[in-house]
Amino acid sequence: MKTLADAWNWYKATKQNLARMQRLGERHWGDPSLTEASIWQDDHFRMLEAPDIVAETTVSLKPIDDLAVVVLFSVFESRVRDYLVELIEPQAQRIADPILKEAVDDAMQGVKEGSFYRRVLEPLKKQNRVTANLITQVDQVREFRNWVAHGRRNAPTNNVTPELAYDRLSEFLAALGISAESEESQPDRLNEEHE
Amino acid sequence: MSTTFREFLHQQAEKHQAEVVAGKDTVEEWRKAIANLFVQIREWLKESDPESLIEIEESQEDVREPGLGRYRVPRLNLRVFGKWIGIIPKARRTVGTAKPPQKSAPERAEGRVDITDELRRYVLYRFKEGGRDVWLIDGLESPEKAWPGQVQYIPRSEPRALDQEAFERALMSYLQ
């Protein structure tokens, strides 16, 4: 998953398929009219019981929204850091003075691996590249991601759904001119347009 | 509230109530079948383990089945030589089919109980014949080990009648 759209498509497909499987277990799996169905000849299914399907899909679905926020933010963070590095690197390479070079290397390192809030969000806010309001909204997503990633201790300071995260992160990427779209899906779209 | 919606709610409530009542009878009958199976298993163990090396503990298993709701049934936990083997009711409305002794074609079983150590699994299928329960055991021929991530399944084998010899063979495979 390289783009926000990839992550979003993964989330939707996974949740939808788990929900479908759960519904299959809850409503149809043991239906007497399916007794003769070919699925029972398949060793992967012939001993799979409806309660197992319901229990397993319930376990799988429970954390899916929280995990989606983690995945969405990871992809987003990586896209933003890569974008800024690409922006800074050509200028950094032109610097010859060793003292300045060290300072620039330090700045580059901060953008690549430093605190996302302090080294990326705050500078973008100061430069008015992104509105303060959007920075706050994205930081709320970041805080929620941290809350999930650190074991969901105590109550979250804000509730972020995958939909909310996707909207805010997409808007942020658009403000920087970064595409949220999947690179893999673009050729298909081009083909459709030609048809 | 429109009359149509009121009627709809009333009909759904009646349907739901009828399912609950029918489900209760089914669960009660299933509990009795499990209890009888466990009596038989205890008798076999008493005979084959006169030194009482195998510790038998009975506990309750929570089962949630579509159409039957959430219910509790007994399960057996056997412990010996530091190993655990569970005899665990899995489903009353099982999808499993097998050929009952007196029948020519496979039928859907009327209950399933697993013998498992969570790695290997034997499946007991229950059929009703002439007012009594007949249990078949599946998986006796080639038990497979599974690990997290692997799709668990039991290779196809011909289920056979569950008798003392088949039961002991299954237990022995866990203890070797």
Residue A195 has a pLDDT of: 40
Residue A48 has a pLDDT of: 92
The half-sphere exposure of B51 on its side-chain side, counting CA atoms within 13 A, is 2
Q: What is the pLDDT along chain B (176 residues), one digit of tens a residue?
A: 677 999 999 998 898 788 778 889 999 999 999 999 999 999 999 999 999 999 999 999 998 888 888 899 999 999 999 999 999 999 999 999 888 888 888 889 999 999 999 888 899 999 999 889 999 999 865 545 555 555 555 555 688 999 999 999 999 999 98
- What tokens appear for B22 in the block? 């029918």
pLDDT for residue A165 is more than 50: yes
Interchain contact B67–A (C-beta under 8 A): yes
Q: Among the residues of chain A, which ranges form H helices?
A: 4-23, 50-61, 64-93, 98-113, 116, 122-126, 132-149, 162-176, 186-194
Task: Tell me what the mean pLDDT of segment A115-122 comes to.
Answer: 94
Residue B140 has a pLDDT of: 65
Q: What angle do CA A20, A21, A26 make, to 5 degrees?
A: 95
Task: Tell me what the mean pLDDT of segment A21-35 comes to.
Answer: 92
Q: Where residue A29 falls among pLDDT bands split at 50, 70, 90? A: very high
Residue A112 has a pLDDT of: 94
- Strand pairing partners for B171? none
Cα Rg of chain B, angstroms = 19
pLDDT for residue A43 is more than 90: no
Interface ipTM > 0.85: no
- What tokens appear for A46 in the block? 């012939």
Interchain contact B153–A (C-beta under 8 A): yes
Task: Tell me what the mean pLDDT of segment A151-169 comes to.
Answer: 93
- Whose tokens are 């498509």? That residue is A9
Task: Tell me what the mean pLDDT of segment A147-168 comes to.
Answer: 93
Cα Rg of chain A, angstroms = 23
Name the residue facing B66 among A44, A47, A54 (closest C-beta). A54
Q: In whole angstroms, what is the distance from residue A140 CA to residue A159 CA?
A: 9
pTM score:
0.77
Task: Tell me what the mean pLDDT of segment A83-104 comes to.
Answer: 92
Q: In whole angstroms, what is the distance from residue B11 CA to residue B16 CA?
A: 9
| Long-range Cβ pairs for the range A58-66 (8 Å, 24+) | A58/A22, A60/A18, A61/A15, A61/A18, A61/A19, A61/A22, A64/A11, A64/A14, A64/A15, A64/A18, A65/A15, A65/A161, A65/A162, A66/A148, A66/A152
Interchain contact B154–A (C-beta under 8 A): yes
Kindly state the percentage of chain A with pLDDT values over 90.
72
Helices A64-93 and A98-113: crossing angle in degrees, nearest 10, is: 170
Cβ-defined contact of B65 to A51 (cutoff 8 Å): yes
The residue among B39, B25, B27 whose CA lies nearest residue B111 is B27
Interchain contact B93–A (C-beta under 8 A): yes
Interchain contact B103–A (C-beta under 8 A): no
Q: What is the pLDDT of residues A47-66, one digit of tens each?
A: 899 989 999 999 999 999 99
Residue A190 has a pLDDT of: 44
Q: Where residue A194 falls among pLDDT bands split at 50, 70, 90? A: very low
Q: Looking at chain B, how many residues does it have?
A: 176
A40 contacts in chain B (CB < 8 Å): 95, 97
